[in-house]
Every structure is written in C-alpha cells, then in structure tokens.
Amino acid sequence: YYQPKYKSTNSIYGFEALIRWVHPQRGIISPLEFIPIAERSDQIYDIGKFVIDNVSRQTKKWLDEGYELIGSINLSSKQLEHESIISDIKNALHNSKLEPKYLELEITESTMMKNEQKSIEMLNRIKDIGVLLSIDDFGTGYSSFNYLNEMPVDTLKIDKTFVSGIDKEDEKYKIADTIINMANELDIAVIAEGVETYEEFEALESAKCNKYQGYYFSKPLTLNEFNKLL
C-alpha cells in the first residue's frame, strides 16, 4: 500500500510503502502482526528485499510518467544489523535505474538506540549511497541528540502520539513546536504523521510544520487508487 505524503501546498511529494499480507483465508494481515514474526525467522531479509525492489521500480515508473515522488520504505532494526542491506539497496537502485535521491529509508528512533554506535556506522554507509534518511516515530525513542550530531539525517517524522489531539493539548503543541524549531536550526526537514483532522493540520501549520501524512489527507492506497489520485 502507498500512503501519500503532502506538502503544505496540498500537493503530493512522496509516499510511504506500507506492506500487508494478503492471506487466502484470513484476508489482509497487518504488518504489526507478521513483521515481528518475520524478524524472528529471518524472513525479514526477503521481505525487505521485496519492498526495496518494488518501491525502487515503482518510484522510477512514476518518475518516467512525469510524477516526481520520493518513495519511502520502513527498515526494521534486524535489517540494519546485516551487511546485505547495503548490496540490497545498491542492487535495487541499479536494476530499477532509480537515482538514490528518490529513495528514502525510515528508521525508528528505537532502532537507532538499540545499538547506537553500530547503527550510526551502518547508516553512514547507507547514506554514502545517496539515499535519504528519515527518523520515524521521533520523540518516542528516548531521543538521543547524539546521532543527530553524528549522522546526516534528512527528515524527522513527528510521532503520531504528539499529533493526535495537538489542537486541544497544549503540551503536545509545545513538543511538536520545539521539534520543528530544532529541526529548522539543524537544517533537517520535518513531517507530521497520523494527521487525522483539519484541526490537527491547522495546529501543525501554525507551528510551521510543512509536510504531512495521515488519514485527513489520505489513507494508505492500493496502486490503482494511488494512480487515480495522481
């Protein structure tokens, strides 16, 4: 599934790929259910490769059709522990002929913190390929500012716990506002995830957030639906 990401001008600038398992008996299974199992069984590497390959190919296809979009994929901590991620990314870019600047990796903050020094090292090598790096669920993972200092992070993704009800809860507004100001100072982009209402969007806009993702804009879409939206 492809969930569009929006600029404040209400135009789509990219998408996040969100995997689902279409099971013949059980229907659509959430990644929250099967990704943790795949991580324990090593199948996460094949799934991860499938996602990187498909997103690279689809992003290139859209580019060729005149739609300049950044394709984002989620990487789990286990994928980051394995050397093969470097060649998987390189191969996907090579095979699809996609320029690295159109591919973004979303890594959660807790993944970063799990093995901080090793993760920083690995992510620096991945960054050398030229892809973009986004810190997912920002603000929930015992935020260490150390990695922001040691790593070329392109985007912070404000976690939806701070977005949900931001129009009503002053503390949430202050936290989001602070993240946005810090990111501006550091020349890092910011996106808010889980924006569900107009009021939340408005509050974020007044905090000078300029990128958004969430049900208020669009839910995750099938390829057909996404094509219609474009």
Residues 190-229, interacting with ligand C2E (CB under 6 A) = 194-196, 214-215, 220
Find tokens 């990314």 and name the residue.
Answer: 89
Long-range (24+ apart) CB contacts under 8 A made by 210-217 are 210/7, 210/8, 211/5, 211/6, 211/7, 211/8, 211/13, 211/155, 212/5, 212/6, 212/8, 213/3, 213/4, 213/5, 213/6, 213/16, 214/160, 214/163, 217/4, 217/6
7/181 with CB nearer ligand C2E: 7
Residue 22 in contact with ligand C2E, rule: CB under 6 A: no
Q: For Ca ion, which residue of 88, 106, 109, 200 counts as binding (CB under 5 A)?
A: 106
Closest residue to Ca ion, based on beta-carbon distance: 106
Residue 35 in contact with ligand C2E, rule: CB under 6 A: yes
Residue 51 in contact with ligand C2E, rule: CB under 6 A: yes
Residue 3 in contact with ligand C2E, rule: CB under 6 A: yes
CB of residue 137 vs Ca ion: minimum separation in angstroms?
4
Structure tokens, 202: 């408005």
212: β partners: 6, 192
Residues of this chain that interact with ligand C2E (CB under 6 A) are 3, 17-19, 30-32, 35, 51, 73-76, 106, 136-137, 194-196, 214-215, 220
Residues of this chain that interact with Ca ion (CB under 5 A) are 74, 106, 136-137
